[in-house]
Structure 1
Amino acid sequence: MIWIGGIIVILTFYAIIKRWETRMVLFVSGLAMAAIAGKILDVIDAFAKAMVNGGLVPVICTVMGFAFVMKYTTCDRHMVQLLAGGITRMRAILIPTTVMVTFAINIALPSAAGCSAAVGAILIPTLIRAGVHPAIAGSAVLAGTCGGVLSPGSAHPPFIAKLAGTDVMSVIAGHTVAAIICALIGAVSLMVIAIMRKENKGCNVELCEVAADTAEQFQVNYIKAIVPIVPLVLLVLGSKQLNVLPAVSVPEAMIFGTILGLVVCRCNPQEVSKEFFNGMGSAYGSVIGIIIAAAVFTRGMELIGLTGSLIEVMKHSEQISRLAAAFGPMIIAILCGSGDAATLAFNGAITPHAQDFGFGISQMGSAAFLSGTFGRTMSPVAGAAIVCSQLAGVDPIELAKRNTPGMIIAAIAGMLMLL
């Protein structure tokens, strides 16, 4: 049965790579493995339990609700404009600065594609007008979308926290230094590539016209610009690591931020309410839906005996387990354009047994999370890559080629720091 399970897993990721609907593929695969094991009702139970996961559903849904409200009130746009305003004053480090500004914004706007659209519409034309090649401009914004690893609204920190029996902010704190260093590695590597290819200045103006025309004048409201980061500030200051303010949960922080946005922007409360709940519904359907399907998949792997066999192999080699966490999710993410499916499958099946390999659950989970994120950041089929390429007027593969060296080095560095 184990060999059959292995074949099903291979076919599963092949189907995901071929862009089949991720939730359907994971669910059907888990169901098939459970059926072969004669325990089909067990995966249905796993499905039901994941639907009401108290550690995940409130966090992810409220964050997405808050994000929808920030978009409706245009607070997110004011924040982006504010942070982008000082970039042109840093010409010597224009490219890495763009990466790190996008990284910071992606923490508040955890959707990679959404962040790419909001940030790229401003920063990509800015870089192009400064003489940077469009492919490098798009790559800089795409590289910065790894900032979501520090967002409490990403699906993975609460998932890892649940496994490790800790809180979301502790998980994020555990990989914050590694994530920032890895982002800096990616930023510097991209600048080096730009210099080597002579794409950091003197760009052909005709090549830039389409993208540059997307820029527009915008008057920043500083109060609105601060609103999107208020929930993050509350979470950080109330975390166990700082303990400056009374601890607040992620849902509490996001609801407070939503109310603050309503007051500051003086919007129609009915419309704000609609946007918040629309965001919650979108989060449940897209993000929680993948988590539910992944739970069925990982349970199917357990029932057919595949998880146990993999764990036994990894127990005999710490190096194998380290490489699996560092590069497994990355490879799948490169091929399919999303780090979520592979990372959730890995963390659901393997990470709970991290202590058997000599690692902490939080550390192994974070390593897999970073791995999947770096893989998605250099994938030409990722949603964020497509958005950035369209804004820059180049093919997505051009962005992937320029980001790949830095992301591989970042993945290795992340593995060495976390495992």
Structure 2
Amino acid sequence: MLGLMIALFFLCICGYAIFKKYKAQTVLLTGGFAMMSVAILLGMGDILPVKNSTGSPWFDMFQFVAVLASKRAAEIGMLIMVVTGFARYMDKIGASRVLVHICIKPLQALRSPYIVMALGFIIGQCLHLFIASASGLGVLLMVTMYPILISLGISRNGATAVIGTTSAIDLGPSSGNTVLAAKTAGLQTVDYFVTYQLPVAVVVILAIAVTHYFVQRWFDKKHEGGLAAGVPREEEKTDHKSDTEPLRPLWYVFLPIFPMILILAFGFFKFRGIHLDIIPCMFVSLFISMVCEALTTRNVKKVFASIQTFFDGMGSQFATVITLIVAGETLAQGLTALGAIDTLINVTQSTGSGKTVMVLVMSGIIAVSCIVMGSGNAPFFAFSAFAPQVAKKLGFDAVNLLLPMQLTSSLARGISPITAVIVAVCGISGASPFEVVKRTAIPMAVGLLTTQIMTYILFG
């Protein structure tokens, strides 16, 4: 119990530091080293097994980070970097914008404001499968979907709230959290997505869409006098460079979707006996996109130069996400060295319903952390490393713990007024982030509750 109390003390300090905008990677690394140091001083546990030890527990801390960084960069790191690099390239050549433009088009034919809004949320969440950046998707939807919602009379806060939560669930192989969850669970990413994520996510998305319908209508009626009639429309216009940029050929809509087609065809269904992992699928898609861009622009030199965007995207992910994963696992090692996880497992087992309680506890910790930090990555990266160990000791599959943790990390992000996507969309619409999260809180809470219920029903 002493180890758990010490761990909670350090976790509070780390959470406060990240909330105060200290660099997350440095905070997590420092917290992990601090807890490992206390564990060494108090003789609570070894940092590394004897066969892997340097001979000194103090040097073992740094050996742990060195081995972990090398392993993560070579495995999950390359996967996340390639996926993100491709997403950046799609944005660079304008393919992502074409995809959003085509998908939003049917909404203009409908005239029922709140049905359009609910359907817009569902379309936006589907687009998030192909546009990995929550902020990037939010900005594109502010240019395309937002004017439609405003023209129908939806209030500025309501439209901003819906668009700000279109990335509420990180789904599919393009999501770093999905990739990490799958690898930690010992599953192929596409298997994790199709078999575990998708059945739960479909129900959660529908639940959130319905909740948005009633919540935004209630807020507009209470605070806007019903539909926002009389609101000066000139004040509601967005001003973004994408408005004036020419749209690329409409057939570009297939380029962001192509990797998913390849992944499902050859990674999941093994079409004609061919098996391709995500990285080869991404490189095939990149090559085809380059050819299409060359045929469109007729400027091979420009196309070759544009590939730097792909490499820059890979580098930025290494500098942020991969280092964050390593830092999070270092923090996890500190908690393990203090015996905090074993204590938590023993406490939950004593309640007689260890698995259910542990899922709720871990999901709750991540939800609170995401709201406070404004990030879904940092908390999930920090705590996901525990899942295999916890699941093994409680006698169930790691994926049953990782799935609700991973979905919670993105859902809770939508309630934080300091998360990047909320700040970005509010910056365009001129709405207050704090007013917007009042409107997102109930739909996201429904999403969190539905996630736990569906996970228990389907995989409990």
Q: TM-score, normalised by structure 2?
A: 0.85
CA deviation after TM superposition for structure 1 residue 313, in Å: 1.9
Q: Separation in 2 of the partners of 1:281 and 1:58?
A: 10
8 Å Cα contact 1:79/1:225 also seen in 2: yes
8 Å Cα contact 1:30/1:297 also seen in 2: yes
**Matched residue of 1:211: which SS?**
coil
1:256 matched to 2:295? The reply is: no
Choose which of 182, 193, 198 in structure 2 pairs with 1:161: 182
Q: Which amino acid aligns with 1:162?
A: K
Q: Alpha carbons of 1:91 and 1:348: their partners in 2 closer, same or farther (altered >3 Å)?
A: farther
Q: Separation in 2 of the partners of 1:341 and 1:35?
A: 22
Q: Which amino acid aligns with 2:348?
A: M
Q: Separation in 1 of the partners of 2:19 and 2:348?
A: 25
Aligned 1:318-333 pairs, distance under 5 A: 318=354, 319-333=356-370
CA deviation after TM superposition for structure 1 residue 35, in Å: 1.5
In the alignment of these two chains, the number of paired residues is 417
**Matched residue of 2:167: which SS?**
helix
Q: Which residue of 1 aligns with 2:227?
A: 201
Of stretches 198-207 and 391-400 in structure 1, the one that deviates more from structure 2 is: 198-207
Q: Which residue of 2 aligns with 1:279?
A: 313
CA deviation after TM superposition for structure 1 residue 220, in Å: 5.5
Cα RMSD for the two superposed structures: 2.0
Choose which of 70, 84, 87 in structure 2 pairs with 1:67: 87
Q: Which amino acid aligns with 1:55?
A: E
Identity of aligned residues (%): 22
Q: Alpha carbons of 1:309 and 1:76: their partners in 2 closer, same or farther (altered >3 Å)?
A: same
- For the pair shown, which has the larger CA radius of gyration, 1 or 2? 2
Aligned 1:33-182 pairs, distance under 5 A: 33-38=35-40, 39-52=57-70, 53=72, 54-92=74-112, 93-147=115-169, 149-173=170-194, 174-182=196-204
8 Å Cα contact 1:43/1:300 also seen in 2: no
Q: Separation in 2 of the partners of 1:34 and 1:418?
A: 34
1:244 matched to 2:237? The reply is: no
Q: Separation in 1 of the partners of 2:230 and 2:264?
A: 44
Q: Which residue of 1 aligns with 2:6?
A: 4
8 Å Cα contact 1:235/1:247 also seen in 2: no
**Matched residue of 1:263: which SS?**
helix
Q: Separation in 2 of the partners of 1:208 and 1:150?
A: 36
1:364 matched to 2:401? The reply is: yes
**Matched residue of 1:59: which SS?**
helix
8 Å Cα contact 1:186/1:403 also seen in 2: no
Q: Which amino acid aligns with 2:139?
A: A
Q: TM-score, normalised by structure 1?
A: 0.93
Q: Which residue of 2 aligns with 1:299?
A: 333
**Matched residue of 2:271: which SS?**
coil
Q: Separation in 1 of the partners of 2:389 and 2:250?
A: 44
CA deviation after TM superposition for structure 1 residue 359, in Å: 3.6
